[in-house]
Structure 1
Amino acid sequence: MPLIHTCYRIFEIDRSVAFYEALGFEEVRRSPIRDEAINVFMNMPGDEGDGPRLELTFNHGRTEPYEIGTGYGHIAITSPDLDATLAQLAEQGIAPEKPPYRVREGSSRICFVRDPDGYRIEIIERVPRG
């Protein structure tokens, strides 16, 4: 059984969509859930797979942000050039938690950013081999 998507509950649709678009996601569609909520489905360009990879759920009438809890870690995406990606994100006001680093010598450089609701996103530099 393949993993098909991750779902986050969000507080503001436009702010969250703009953040994930800055990371390279594209909005695929919005689907209302009766008059209770709206699901915003997002994917990476060219990623057809089994459907959108990210589902952002906005609940109507929510008056305060969600608590993330202690069990959530992060999702991870890759970048062929971490410095260029961070420069593009900085232009949109998105800063890493700390400068890029390696977990161990010879491993990929990584860094983390947070979305508008506080969810952590790991960006892993994957330099194309050639």
Structure 2
Amino acid sequence: MANLRTHHIGLTVTELDRAVEFYCNVLDLTVLDQFTVSGTSFSTAVDVEGATGRFVHLGTGGARIELIEYEPAGEKRTESTINEPGAKHLGLEVDDIDTFFETLPRDVETLSKPQTTESGSRILFFRDPDGNLIELIET
């Protein structure tokens, strides 16, 4: 059996620079690496003819988040709800969810204010500029 380890969590975005600004300014992540990949092998691997991917890797302290802007871009999907099969979200832990919520820019779409679940965890869901769901959790 393979010895699997998490390398990164990938999110496809429409405008890489805008997404990097959001993740760095709102979530205080740091840019670890940035690069472009293209060519026949890449196109074959991602099953997109003539694909080029612009990548930025961001550090969270515990995981690497990979933002990717593809050319050609695919069709924009409608925003999903969290209970929809195939829905995804990025989960990040925070020490003080209420302070984070208070400093969240007003133009960031949240699903609700921070909530305390039956397990005692505090959670907050919001969307990045492309509609990707992000969950903050305080345990």
Q: TM-score, normalised by structure 2?
A: 0.73
> 1:23 aligns to what?
27
Map residues 34-45 of structure 1 onto 2, 5 A cutoff: 34=38, 36-44=52-60
Find the aligned partners of 2:79 and 2:105 in 1 and give their Cα distance.
Answer: 24
Corresponding residue for residue 91 of structure 2? 76
Where do residues 1-130 of structure 1 align in structure 2 (5 Å cutoff)?
Answer: 1-21=4-24, 22-34=26-38, 36-44=52-60, 47=61, 53-62=64-73, 65-66=76-77, 70-90=85-105, 93-104=107-118, 107-126=120-139
- The Cα shift of 1:19 comes to 1.6
Amino acid corresponding to residue 22 of structure 2 in structure 1: F
Question: What percent identity do the matched residue pairs reach?
Answer: 28
Asked whether the equivalents of residues 78 and 123 of structure 1 are also in contact (C-alpha less than 8 Å), the reply is: yes
Q: CA deviation at 1:109?
A: 1.0
Q: Structure 2: state its 5+ residue gaps.
A: 40-51
Higher-Rg structure is 2
Aligned residue for 1:24, secondary structure, equals coil
Give SS of 1:123's match.
strand
Distance 1:61 1:77 in 2: 30
Matched residues in 1 for 2:136 and 2:78: separation? 23
- Give unpaired runs (5+ residues) of structure 1: none
User: What is the distance in 2 between the residues matched to 1:114 and 1:15?
Assistant: 14
In structure 2, C-alpha distance between the alignment counterparts of 1:43 and 1:15, rounded to whole Å: 17
Rounded to whole Å, the distance in 1 between the matches of 2:65 and 2:58 is: 5
Q: How much is the aligned-residue C-alpha RMSD, in angstroms?
A: 2.3
State the secondary structure of the residue aligned to 1:112. Answer: strand
Write the distance in 1 (CA, Å) between the matches of 2:10 and 2:78: 14
Q: Is the contact between residue 6 and residue 53 of structure 1 (CA under 8 Å) also seen in structure 2?
A: yes
